[in-house]
A and B are shown apart, each in its own frame.
Chain A
């Protein structure tokens, strides 16, 4: 009997010892999807036969002594903006409902080369920007902690599927917080690596200069395992960074003692005020890090609204350029949330786009200076627990400055880490941000925090 919930690390260890069959593991997830996803709607498309076939190949390789690594035989899901050869990749949109790519995205190929088993394509907000829309070909994903609640977005299906144990990990993309938001609301670990760390080639773009691909899983360790497979230079992505990829998982066990952490308190106390439970969760997390030997001091940056304005102006402008022609021809075929958010972009002038890009340079420099004598920054990932799914407004993304956007503007790594549960039993989270290409320190701190606390032992009850 395969447990309902397993981390990638746990399953990988069992597979490595031949105590768990990749076929049984994959079939157990497919059964779970069949049983639970009718109410979660985390999948757009389940790839049952290809997944079982791939699991059989993985099992044969492992039994023949050819295990590729900790992802070999692990069932994962792909946000449906990651292109998959011969399998429709829709962006959760009617616009691309018949789009069948000729090849896999680079990151998909790397994950499958590492032995991961793709069990399906996951729900997303339309083209990674629309909200939880009810006028698309597929319904919006629901939060497994409470199906009346929002998953966060845009990597909504990945958040729901991992939290519910339908897959052990999944891919997300993050242009303004689309990995860290759903990770926060669904209680996961979600890493937005540095811009350029993971290839964007073959991933439907939202905004070229802000898009980051990344892993979402139950733990920081699992994110490290997925990042290891996904990261690395790729000539097919002009923004790909030609930098060596360290051994992320090996570095997790390193000491965090002596790490210097800046607490960006004004982001969640003044600029986008978080609820009391979130503030207490962050305060307790700071105490955990201090007890582990880290030093924590206040870090003050430009107001959050400055970062959000810069990021949103760039995001809308670049997204509008991508969809401009189709919006003219097929406006009504987009969901209302996406198309009306895009219509706002028609109000942005070319000059203001360039001003936003100039502002980005200033803000990135400000962050680099502020971090000169720090190793990490900590702030809220979301202002509180997940709201009701029908309470998410059409323009809500723009009405309150997003706590996650600053690190899209800087292009530096940032991660959502669960720090407890609200009175309603919903996950709360903080964000750890690091220096450029220092995912390793972010992951190590998150992993150490997870080991020092009990939050990873709590899973949703799923009495659907």
Chain B
């Protein structure tokens, strides 16, 4: 079966994590971040979001990652 050329198009997240979303991510990660630093991390979150947007891109379903697993003895 031929793969859709632009598989993954519809999954691009909207930019602009809210402070609450950042707080939730940090809490889920179990990080005990002081209040002042939480605010700075939230303010910088857009940098990561923009990078994530860039790497998502458009690629075929079967596009391989750079790292593959060489089984022992291969």
A and B bind: yes
Taking Cβ atoms with an 8 Å cutoff, the residues of A that contact B are: 209, 305-306, 308-310, 312-313, 316, 324, 327-328, 331-332, 336, 339-340, 343-344, 346-349, 352, 354-362, 364, 394-395, 398-399
Flag if A344 contacts B65 (CB, 8 Å). Answer: no
State the CA gap A360–B64 with chains docked (Å): 10
State the CA gap A196–B44 with chains docked (Å): 33
Flag if B63 contacts A340 (CB, 8 Å). Answer: no
Which of A209, A355, A362, A398 contacts B48 (CB under 8 A)?
A398
Given contacts A309-B50, A340-B40, A398-B48, contact A358 B65 (CB under 8 A): yes
Given contacts A352-B56, A358-B64, contact A394 B48 (CB under 8 A): no
Flag if A352 contacts B52 (CB, 8 Å). Answer: yes
Flag if B37 contacts A343 (CB, 8 Å). Answer: yes
Q: List, in ascending order, chain A residues with CB within 8 A of B47's CB.
A: 344, 395, 398-399
Flag if A355 contacts B25 (CB, 8 Å). Answer: no
Question: Which secondary structure dominates where chain B touches chain A?
Answer: helix
CB of B31 closer than 8 Å to a CB of A: yes
State the CA gap A346–B32 with chains docked (Å): 12
Given contacts A331-B31, A344-B44, A347-B48, contact A354 B65 (CB under 8 A): yes
Flag if A358 contacts B63 (CB, 8 Å). Answer: yes
Chain A minimum-CB-distance residue to B65:
A357
User: Which 5 A-B pairs give the minimum distances between C-beta atoms?
Assistant: A309-B51, A357-B65, A346-B29, A360-B66, A309-B54
CB of B20 closer than 8 Å to a CB of A: no
Given contacts A352-B55, A358-B65, A398-B44, contact A347 B32 (CB under 8 A): no
Flag if B48 contacts A344 (CB, 8 Å). Answer: yes
Chain B minimum-CB-distance residue to A365:
B66
State the CA gap A331–B33 with chains docked (Å): 7
Taking Cβ atoms with an 8 Å cutoff, the residues of B that contact A are: 17, 22, 25-26, 28-34, 37, 40-41, 44-45, 47-52, 54-57, 59, 63-67
Given contacts A358-B64, A360-B65, 4 further A-B contacts (CB under 8 A): A209-B66, A346-B31, A362-B59, A364-B66
Chain A minimum-CB-distance residue to B70:
A238
Q: List, in ascending order, chain B residues with CB within 8 A of A308's CB.
A: 51
User: Considering residues B17, B48, B63, which has the most beta carbons from chain A within 10 angstroms of its beta carbon?
Assistant: B48
Smallest CB–CB gap between A338 and chain B, Å? Answer: 12
Flag if A336 contacts B57 (CB, 8 Å). Answer: no
Q: List, in ascending order, chain A residues with CB within 8 A of B40's CB.
A: 340, 394-395
Given contacts A327-B31, A343-B26, A352-B56, contact A358 B66 (CB under 8 A): yes
- 23 pairs from A and B in contact (CB 8 Å cutoff): A309-B50, A309-B51, A309-B54, A312-B51, A313-B52, A327-B29, A331-B31, A331-B32, A343-B33, A343-B41, A344-B45, A344-B48, A346-B31, A355-B52, A355-B56, A358-B64, A359-B57, A360-B66, A362-B59, A364-B66, A395-B47, A398-B44, A398-B47
State the CA gap A114–B4 with chains docked (Å): 56
User: Considering residues A354, A355, A361, which has the most beta carbons from chain B within 10 angstroms of its beta carbon?
Assistant: A355
Q: List, in ascending order, chain A residues with CB within 8 A of B56's CB.
A: 352, 355
State the CA gap A349–B48 with chains docked (Å): 11
Smallest CB–CB gap between A28 and chain B, Å? Answer: 45
State the CA gap A394–B37 with chains docked (Å): 10
State the CA gap A336–B41 with chains docked (Å): 11
Flag if A328 contacts B30 (CB, 8 Å). Answer: yes
Flag if A346 contacts B67 (CB, 8 Å). Answer: no
Q: List, in ascending order, chain B residues with CB within 8 A of A355's CB.
A: 52, 55-57
